[in-house]
Each structure stands twice: as structure tokens, then as C-alpha cells.
Amino acid sequence: MLTNGNIQLLTPQYWEDYELIDCGDFEKLERFGNIVLIRPEPQAVWPKGLPEVEWVRRHDIRFKGRSATSGDWIKKKPQLPDRWHIEYSNPIITIKLRLGLTSFKHVGVFPEQAVNWDYISETIKSFNTAQPKVLNLFAYTGGASLVARAAGADVTHVDSIKQVVTWANENQELSRLSGIRWVVEDALKFVKRELKRGNRYHGIILDPPAYGHGPKGEKWKLEDHIAEMMRDVVQLLDPREHFLMLNTYSLGFSSVIVENLIKSAMPNVQNLETGELFLQATAGSKLPLGVFGKFSKHEKRGK
């Protein structure tokens, strides 16, 4: 961990099945298990650390874009899989994830999120509450949901895309977990309904996209809706014991913005931490991959 005042720079510590080998010239060379991919990376504006011949030699599959949102995977060998599994472990939990080659360059996991997974599992284990209730919004293929469940939480997983919720359920089965509640819904609508129901959570995880759509065509634009979302979600937190994790990947969004959003929604917030996530390339560069804000409150022992 690097620190600059109160702003943290964090990178995962426990990955064995993932490695960022190199990045630069708007691409990244990365290993997932025993498969090495080349994918576009808009943040990597600097030159590559390794020569192009090394990228060509080392990679198994390369993504070639056809448009701004889709493309094709080019395999060196036809027998290379479209789907495979990886594992993530920290001292508290172990989860397994099914990866897949999607037409929009993603493979089903954002490796930098392992930093947040460690915080989630550590915080859940530190609570007095026997089975904390955790809400994961914009939950994608469920890495954070699995981690929270493996740490002992009662988990509700919300995403607006049915296919990725199905994928998350596959990951639950692969990880030999059960009991996660799956909700295909617009995140903001779900939060407002939970407020009306009077429900409370000990943990809330948000990883909102820059742009998105709900299952009924609801439009999400981060800068237009995040302040409203934050005002609502903090009201869902259990007043005695809780944590909240906000992660954003949006060019131009800084950790100072995240800090202001959280403090505006919760002026008396305790233990607030903000900063930036990055992946450390073996070849030397640091690849920035989003900003975060997180805070927690613990009930005093014996009460």
C-alpha cells in the first residue's frame, strides 16, 4: 500500500491465478490461470514495457475490436477454451470463478476488485452480528457477493442483466456456496423499495458503471444518478454496525469526488477511507483501474 496524505493507492496482494504481465499502447497483457490474453486498455497511454515480440510470443488469445463496444477473440490455437475457471483466496475466504470470452472484451472478473474483496471479508468477520446482511448493487458476476457469503453474510445480489446474474449463480455453485438471493432489477428502484419496506443492511457494496440500463430500459448515468443513490443507500445501513464500499471506474472520476459524495450523503461518517485501485504489472508499470470510498462502524463488544 502506498499513501499520499489520506488518499490510498491499493493493489491486490493475494492473486495467484491472475497476473498483469505488461500494459501500454492502450493494451494489457494478462494471465488468468494458464491463459494469457491481450485486451484493449484505454488507461494505458504510455509505451509498453516489453517488446512487441514478447507480447506476440506470450499471449494465447487476443481481442480485436470491431466497434467501440464489441469485437472478436483471435486464438493462437483452436483448441484453446472459450470458458475456464480461476480461484481467489485470501486468509479468510476462497472463491472460484468461471471466466468466458465475451463479445465486449470482458471475461467475467475485474482483478483489481480483490482489494475490495479483502476489505469486505475482513470487515464481515470483525462484526459482532452473527450473520450480517449484505447488499451488493450493480453486482455483475458476483465476486463480491461470493466473498461476502463465504465470510458468513446473508447476501442479496442485484444486477439489471439476467445473463450476468445467471453467471453469478454459476460462480456460487462452482464455489460450493449457496443461499445468495438473486434479484434482476434496476439498482436505484430496488433501493427505493427497500427503504419503503424498512429493510436494513450491515454492508452495502456499490460498483456502478459509467452508463447502463435497467431491465425495463431505465437509464443509468453515473454523474446524473450517483448522488441520489448515495443519499438513499446510507439510509439502508444498520445504525449500530455497518460498512459501505463504493467503487467507480469512470475516466475523470477522482477519489476526491467519491469522498465528497459520501460525506454529503452521510456527514457524520466514521472511518472513511478513499483512494485509487491499481494493478502492478510484472514489467513495471502501474495500471490505474478505478477509485473507491469505504467506511465502517463497529458495535462495541459486550453491548
pLDDT tens-digit readout, 102-118: 998 999 999 999 999 99
Per-residue pLDDT at 154 = 98
Q: Mean pLDDT over residues 237-254, rounded?
A: 89
Pair type for strands 83-89 and 94-100? antiparallel
Q: Mean pLDDT over residues 150-173, rounded?
A: 97
Distances (CA, A) of 61 to 45, 46, 82, 111: 22, 22, 10, 18
Chain mean position to CA 128: 26
pLDDT band for position 250 (50/70/90)? low
The total of other beta-carbon atoms located within 10 Å of residue 64's CB is 11
How far is the C-alpha of 194 from the C-alpha of 186, rounded, in Å? 12
pLDDT digits (tens, 9 = 90+) for 252-287: 778 999 999 999 999 999 899 999 999 999 999 999
- Checking if the pLDDT of 95 tops 50, the result is yes
What is the average pLDDT value for the chain, to the nearest integer? 93
- Checking if the pLDDT of 226 tops 50, the result is yes
Higher pLDDT, 211 or 292: 292
| Of residues 159, 156, 162, 158, the one with CA closest to residue 179 | 156
Per-residue pLDDT at 31 = 98
Distinct helix (H) and strand (E) counts, the chain: 7, 18
Per-residue pLDDT at 3 = 44
Per-residue pLDDT at 7 = 85
Per-residue pLDDT at 1 = 53
Q: Mean pLDDT over residues 167-189, rounded?
A: 97
Q: Where do the H-state alpha helices sit in the chain?
A: 52-58, 114-126, 143-150, 162-174, 187-197, 222-233, 255-265
